[in-house]
Amino acid sequence: MFANLSDRLTASFKQLRGKGRLSEADIDATVSEIRRALLEADVALPVVRAFAANVRERAKSAEVSAALNPGQQVIKIVNAELVEILGGEARDLRFAKNPPTVIMLAGLQGAGKTTLAGKLGRWLRDQGHTPLLVAADLQRPNAVTQLQVVGERAGVPVWAPEPGNGVGDPVGVARSGIQHAHDKQYSVVVVDTAGRLGVDAEMMQQAADIRDAVSPDEILFVLDAMIGQDAVTTANAFAEGVGFSGVVLTKLDGDARGGAALSVRGVTGKPVMFASTGEKLTDFERFHADRMASRILDMGDILTLIEQAERTFDAAQAEEMAAKISGEGDFTLQDFLGQLQQLKKMGSMKKMLGMLPGMGQMREQLENFDEREVDRVEAIVHSMTPAERVDPRILNGSRRQRIARGSGTTVTEVNSLMERFDQAKTMMRQMARSGGKGGVPGMGMMPGGGKKSKGRMAPPPKKGKKGKSGNPAKRAQQEREAAQRAAQQPAAPAGSAFGLGAPKQQEDAMPDLEELQKYLR
C-alpha cells in the first residue's frame, strides 16, 4: 500500500547523501519533496502541514548542523516524525479486572468488521484467552451466518440467538451475549455491530445503544485503509457519535495510496492498535508505528519477521537445521522440504521478502515472484523416493524422467531445482562459516522471481561452466574436482561469539542486494 510513498520519500533523500553540510536550500527542497509525497499519498492536509513544519524546524536545528552525517540525521528526523503521526508507542488492549472484557467493533459496512471479529478472536485465543463472538449485526443480509462461518474457521464460539436479515433486537443480543459469557466464563467478548454504506443518525444511535447496554472496555473503530480522504470524515463522525478508544486498519494489502493510515491518528488522536494485512485469518498483527515507519522508509521490518518465524518454527528443529547447514551432517532435500513447508506457514513469501531492508529497490522483482512455483518445487521433491531425497547423487537420467512425470513438470525443471539446491546449500555453508557474508540464505532455491518467469521455473544462471551431469560416474568426477577447488580456497575468517567479526565483517554480513537480485531472477 505504501509503495509509491516509500519510493518518493527514498528519492527525496538522495540529494542529501554524501554532503558534509546541509544548506537551508537543501533542507527546503527535501521538505518540499516530502510534503508533495504525502499529499500524493492522500494524507490529510492538516497532518501534512504539521509534519512538514516539524521536519523543517528540527532539520535546521543544532542536532543536524553538528552531526557528522547531516543527511542521515535528516532521515532519522523524518523517521521519528513518521512514528509520531502513526501513533508513537504501541498500546495494548485494556482488559477488565473482572472478566469478561468487552470489545465492541464499529465502522461502516464493507470495512471488514465481521471478518476482523474472527481474526481478533483467533488472535486472542492464541494469546491464551477464551473469546466469544457476539453476532449483533442483524441488519446486513447473512451477516450472522458469515460470523458463524468465520468463528468456526477461527476455532472461536459464536453467540447468535437471532437469525438476522433485518429480524431481531441487536441491543438485546449484545446484552444476552455478555450474560452468556458470564455464565460460561469466557474471558473476552467481541461484539460485531451493524454498519451502513454511509454515516447516518440511525446507525449512530444503534451503535450508541449497544455501547450503553454492554459498557465495553474497548471500542475499536474498523477503518478501511483504501477509502482515502473520506476516512478522516468517517473517523470524526464516529468519534462524535459513538466514541472509540482505538483504530483497526483493514485491507493494508491493497494498492491504494494509504493516506488514511497516516491521517486517522493525527486527526482523531486515537492510536492504531491492529492491522489486517490480507484475507486469511492469520493475516492480522499488532500495529507498531516504528515498524511501519521503517517499512515506509525502506528500512525493513526485521522484528516482525522474527516474531513470525518464532511463532512458526520449532526451536529444536531450527537448531538442528542450523547445525546441518554449518556442516554437522548433511542438509538433504527432505530437510529442504520441511523448511519450505515451515516458510509457507509464515504466510506470503512476497511479504516476508518485502520486510528485508532495501527491498524497495527490488520491488519489480518481488512483484514478478510467482509463489505457485513453490508448489511445483514441493511436487518435485514429493515425487522422489526417500533414498533420492537423502542422496540426490543417485538421480540419473531415468530417475529424473520419472520424477518429472510424477510431478507434472519437465526434466529441465527437475535439473534446475537440483542445480539451485546445490548452489544454495554451498552458499548457506559459506555464510555459516563467515558469519553471514554472501547474501540471503536459501534464495538460490527460490524459483519464479525473474522477469522471464511466466509460470515455470527459470533455468539457473549460466556462467560458462556446465551443470552437474546425470551420469553417476561423471558426476562423481565433477564433485571431486569441486572439492579440490574448495580446499584450495582460503578459510573464511572466524566470527565473534555472536557470529560476526570486526565491524567491517558486520557490514559485509548484511544481505547483498545484487546477489539477491541475481538469485531472484
What would the pLDDT profile of 2-54 be if each residue is shown by its tens digit? 666 777 777 777 777 666 677 778 788 888 888 888 887 777 788 888 888 88
Annotated ligand binding at 101? The verdict is no
354 is in an annotated binding site: no
CA separation for the pair 407, 91 (Å, rounded): 49
Say whether 254 counts as a known binding-site residue. no
Which amino acid is present at 39? L
111 is in an annotated binding site: yes
The cell numbers describing 12, all together, are 527525496
Going by the DSSP 8-state scheme, the letter that residue 359 receives in this structure is G
Does 196 show up as a binding residue in the annotation? yes
Q: Select the more confidently predicted residue: 307 or 267.
A: 267
231 touches 99 (CB < 8 A): no
Q: Is 114 annotated as a binding residue?
A: yes
Segment 90-97 shows an average pLDDT of: 86
Q: Is 112 annotated as a binding residue?
A: yes
Q: Which three cell numbers stand for residue 297?
A: 522508509
pTM for the model:
0.61
Residue 9 marked as a ligand binder: no
- Look at 45-49, 238-242, 362-366 and tell me which has the smallest mean pLDDT: 362-366
117 close to 105: Cβ distance less than 8 angstroms? yes
Q: According to the model, what pLDDT value does residue 63 have?
A: 63
Lowest mean pLDDT among 249-253, 375-379, 435-439: 435-439
Residues present in the chain in total: 521
Phi, psi of 202 (to 5 degrees): -65, -45
Give the integer Cα–Cα distance in Å for 365 and 350: 10
State the maximum Cα–Cα separation within the chain, in Å, rounded to a whole number: 82
Q: What mean pLDDT comes out for the span 396-421?
A: 90
- Collect all residues with Cβ–Cβ distance below 8 Å to 324 and sequence separation of at least 6: 330, 331, 335
Answer yes or no: is 192 a known binding residue. Answer: yes
Q: Are strands 188-192 and 101-106 parallel, antiparallel or unpaired?
A: parallel
289, 91 contact by CB (below 8 A): no
Q: Is 454 annotated as a binding residue?
A: no
Average pLDDT over residues 475-500: 52
Instruction: Consult the annotation and say whether 121 binds a ligand.
Output: no
Find out whether 250 is annotated in a ligand binding site.
yes
Query: Any idea what the Cα angle at residue 342 is, between residues 337 and 343, rounded to 5°?
Result: 95
What confidence score (pLDDT) does residue 424 get?
Answer: 75
Nearest to 194 by CA among 184, 204, 183, 185: 204
Query: Annotation-wise, does 316 bind a ligand?
Result: no
**Residue 26 class from Cβ within 10 Å (0-12 exposed, 13-18 middle, 19+ buried)?**
middle
* Alpha helices in 256-314, H assignment, sequence order: 259-268, 289-296, 302-312
Quick one: pLDDT at residue 145?
A: 93
Q: Has 253 been labeled as part of a binding site? A: yes
Q: Where are the beta strands (DSSP E) in 107-232?
A: 131-135, 158-159, 188-192, 218-224
**Dist. CA 131–CA 145, nearest whole Å:** 18
- Model pLDDT, residue 447: 46
Write out the E strands in 31-174: 101-106, 131-135, 158-159
197 assigned to a ligand binding site: no
Q: Is 194 within any annotated ligand binding site?
A: yes
pLDDT in tens, 161-190: 988 888 889 999 999 999 999 999 999 999
Domains and CATH numbers, the chain: 3-86 (1.20.120.140), 101-299 (3.40.50.300), 324-520 (1.10.260.30)
Predicted confidence (pLDDT) per residue in 288-316, tens digit: 777 777 767 765 556 666 666 666 666 66
Q: Is 229 annotated as a binding residue?
A: no
Higher-pLDDT residue of 350 and 14 is 14
The region of weakest confidence among 101-110, 362-371, 437-446, 465-474 is 437-446
Q: Which of 274-288, 323-337, 464-478 has the lowest mean pLDDT?
A: 464-478
H or E element, residue 273: strand 272-276
